[in-house]
Structure 1
Amino acid sequence: MRIVEIFKSLQGEGKNQGAPCIFIRFAGCNLRCSWCDTAYAWEGGEEMSAGEVLDIVWRLHGTRICITGGEPLLQQQALLELLQKFAVHGYNVEIETNGTIAFTDMQEYASICMDVKCPSSGEQSDLDLLRHITPRDCVKFVVADVADCRYAQAVIAHYDIRGEIFISPVAGSDYLAIARYIVDQNLPVRFQLQLHRIIGVK
């Protein structure tokens, strides 16, 4: 599998925000979001075996793992092998995905955080995948403006999303306007700023 980096930090977003976490960033992505903050992971990376990844993770002394990208589900076969090894060792694993590739084969071994792409991203997720979200999983809308909030609101109204829902503003956007929209519309979401950007960690 192609891996860009493995490091330990605080989880900056999602349901585990603030918890110590080991991040495994897979190389390659099938989207090109306009506000992407990890464009360096679109290509490249180093070829690693599941055993090599597991060895690095073990030396970082953590129990919680976030598999991210890029888009990790582009390497499904290798990812599934890695998840099975993590399950044997009792790790708590979450996969961050852009919602364009089916993830049901992974749900036995990991929770899913599906990032639904809003209009400002210039990309689009497969909204039919939302029916596979379970209470163990979560959904995130990264929004740049109120128009994105309206899109998220329409998606939430149309789909029965069983996991927790987060709205996360793009860095530098009008946080207050987005927060006010959530409050005024009484959206069933949690407003969440990216913690890692606030405190300046990777």
Structure 2
Amino acid sequence: MPQPSLKVNEIFYSIQGEGPHTGMPAVFLRLAGCSMGCVFCDTRYAFSDGQLMPLTDIVQAMEKYPCRNAVITGGEPTEQDFAPLAALLKQRGWCLHMESNGAHDADVSNIDFLVISPKKYVSRQMLQKAHTIKIVVGQETDLQDLQNYFQYANERTAVCLQPQSNLQENIDLCVKLIKQNPFLRLSLQTHKMANIK
């Protein structure tokens, strides 16, 4: 019987550069594949490029680093059955973060911290499971639609605005919106600003 596998784009060790855990060292597991295909995506190379890896090989590749924080990202990780890997990593003492567009309702019971970044469409169930809702904001963003996510802000769930491509005009727009709605938070891609690889 073949061992369960996932299509992996890359595994690397770095610093979390955005969201509420900015500055946290983590092993990033980037799974391949995303059917959303957003034109502004900064990881378009992960839409298709990747290799099939057995779960044990993935764990072995991740455990060569001196860290037990993991960020499962993509592509879009929920387009593959990541749950068995998440269960295996939890058994081995990992703290698991996931970044997803939230389009597919998925089993995130072993995920310690879930970030949902809505794009063209999003599952209401995934929004309700999120610890952070991170919305990419640019000059073309429908600000009326943006307000639909404000209702999810509470003591458990933060709603962050992330300026598209770190452009100053988008930063200015986010700051204006946050000052008008002080329950919102700003998320900058500090890894790009600091040129962290």
Separation (CA, whole Å) in 2 of partners of 1:188 and 1:43: 37
The Cα offsets for residues 23-56 of structure 1, whole Å up to 9 and x where unpaired, read as 0000000101121000000002011111111111
User: Is the counterpart of residue 19 in structure 1 residue 12 in structure 2?
Assistant: no
Q: CA deviation at 1:148?
A: 4.1
CA distance in 2, matches of 1:2, 1:99: 19
Structure 2 residue runs of 5 or longer lacking an equivalent are 1-5
Identify which range, 45-54 or 159-168, moves more after superposition. Answer: 159-168
- Whether the 8 Å CA contact 2:153–2:183 is kept in 1: the answer is no
Structure 1: tracts of 5 or more residues without a match = 118-122
* Matches of 1:201 and 1:31, distance apart in 2: 27
Does 1:201 pair with 2:193?
no
Matched length:
189
Within the alignment, does 1:7 sit opposite 2:12 as a pair? yes
1:181-192 alignment runs, 5 A limit: 181-183=177-179, 185-192=180-187
Q: Partners in 2 of 1:39 and 1:200 — Cα distance?
A: 19
Percentage identity across paired residues of the two chains: 29
CA RMSD in angstroms comes to 1.9
1:82 alignment partner in structure 2: 85
Question: Are 1:101 and 2:95 an aligned pair?
Answer: no
Q: CA 1:26 to 1:182, structure 2 compared with 1: closer, same or farther past 3 Å?
A: same
TM-score (norm: length of structure 1): 0.86
Indicate conservation of the 8 Å contact 2:160/2:184, yes or no.
Answer: yes
Q: Which amino acid aligns with 1:188?
A: F
Structure 1 counterpart of 2:123, from 113, 119, 126: 126
Inter-partner Cα distance in structure 2 for 1:127 and 1:88: 29
- Within a 5 Å distance, the mapping from 1:122-161 to structure 2 comes to 123-133=120-130, 137-145=131-139, 147-157=141-151, 159=152
Higher helix share: 1
Task: Establish whether residue 91 from structure 1 lines up as the match of residue 91 from structure 2.
Answer: no
Deviation track 1:89-117 (CA, whole Å, cap 9, x = no partner) reads: 111111111110112x2223442111012
Q: In the alignment, does 2:116 pair up with 1:114? A: yes
Report the 3-state secondary structure (helix = DSSP H, G, I; strand = E; otherwise coil) of the residue aligned with 1:167.
Answer: strand
Contact 1:41 1:70 in 2 (8 A): yes
